[in-house]
Chain A
Amino acid sequence: GAGVSQSPSNKVTEKGKDVELRCDPISGHTALYWYRQSLGQGLEFLIYFQGNSAPDKSGLPSDRFSAERTGGSVSTLTIQRTQQEDSAVYLCASSFQGRSYEQYFGPGTRLTVT
């Protein structure tokens, strides 16, 4: 079946602009995670959605970052007033909680802030 999809695949933006990154999880997956990966670095957890529960926002690095998940499916990560240090690959993953907890990753969005 279809995997996790993300759009856009690449985004170049000027410092100070807002950006929206989209994630479509695997159909039926109840949990959705956002991570950030800078060049040569590990995964940095950002935010986690599980069903209709309040999201775990503990990983968001600043109040410029926010995310929502509509209808328990598609998620949008918004970065306001982008800074150069926001440049990274933003990865989305989904899993079916209660079965195996295995996370499946999308291809990522490479964000470059100039």
Chain B
Amino acid sequence: QKEVEQNSGPLSVPEGAIASLNCTYSDRGSQSFFWYRQYSGKSPELIMSIYSNGDKEDGRFTAQLNKASQYVSLLIRDSQPSDSATYLCASYTNTGNQFYFGTGTSLTVIP
């Protein structure tokens, strides 16, 4: 079982819709969770971090964390074609200072 699992997609949404990206993790000791966006041919770019249960909003992005269910999600409101990218979910645990990345979900926003 992988530490962090994501649906590889591809996920397609029309422009203006809400894109919902999901991630589960296996280590209950994980403390911090991150979402990265990676455009084709580019390196990952941090877009959201979340540490506590609940929602965290930043502009059009909302990260949601449910530690009881070991579930992290990213909502992108008013999706734009420029949001088309692969989104990587990551977790951090201070046991061994381990970072774990999912394999990413490919998102396409259709104009």
Contact in complex: B88, A100 (CB < 8 Å): no
Total A-B contacts with CB atoms under 8 angstroms apart: 45
Partner of B34, one of A41, A45, A102: A102
Grouping DSSP codes into helix (H, G, I), strand (E, B) and loop, the B interface class, with mixed when no group exceeds half, is strand
Contact of A100 among B44, B45, B49, B97 (CB under 8 A): B49
Interface residues on A, range: 20 to 34
Residues from chain B with Cβ under 8 Å of A108 in the complex: 43
> Nearest residue in B to A58 (C-beta to C-beta)?
B96
Binds A, one of B11-19, B76-84, B98-106: B98-106
Given A91-B43, A101-B92, A105-B44, the answer on whether A42 and B97 have CB atoms closer than 8 Å is no
Residue contact B49 to A97, C-beta cutoff 8 Å: no
The verdict on B110 contacting chain A, using a C-beta distance below 8 Å, is: no
Chain B: interface residue count, which band?
Answer: 20 to 34
Complex Cα–Cα for A103 and B90 (A): 10
Q: Which residues of A pack against B, CB within 8 Å?
A: 31, 33, 41-43, 45, 48, 50, 56, 89, 91, 97, 100-108
Binding site for A on B (CB under 8 A): 31-32, 34, 36, 42-46, 49, 88, 90, 92, 96-97, 99, 101-104
